[in-house]
Amino acid sequence: ADIPVIPDLEEVQEEDLAMQVAAPPSVQVNRVLTYHDLDKDLMKYAAFQTLDGEVDLKLLTKVLAPEHELREDDVCWDWDHLFTEVSSELVTEWDVGQSERED
């Protein structure tokens, strides 16, 4: 009895979809750990020293560098200065290479 009908384009345009907004997903956010906290946890818990219960990470955890050794100060780069420095180093290397070939 009911025959499905394809709606006309004019009918679809009349619907105001601009006011319909999807609800944002709700995500539970846990506290983000600092590198210091992660370092302490890594050494404290043996669970972090094996991966999938099969791969032994003890050797890796012994040689990991501490955070203070990895931190670097932020340095602003000046393009002209950097380009000149790299160019002069390359020219010096080329000159040394040519003098070695001549010898």
- Could you tell me the pLDDT band of residue 61, with boundaries at 50, 70 and 90? confident
Residue 5 falls inside a structural domain: no
Question: CA triplet 48, 54, 59: central angle to 5 degrees?
Answer: 55
**42 is in which domain, residue-wise?**
17-100
> Band of the pLDDT at 45, cuts 50, 70, 90?
low
With respect to residue 2, please indicate whether it lies within any of the assigned structural domains: no
Query: Is the C-alpha dihedral spanning 72, 73, 79, 84 positive or negative?
Result: negative
| Domain count within the chain | 1
Q: What is the mean pLDDT of the chain?
A: 77
Which helix (H) or strand (E) element contains residue 56?
strand 55-56
Within a domain: 12: no
Predicted pLDDT of residue 81: 93
Arithmetic mean of pLDDT, 57-72: 79
pTM of the model: 0.30
**pLDDT score for 63:** 79
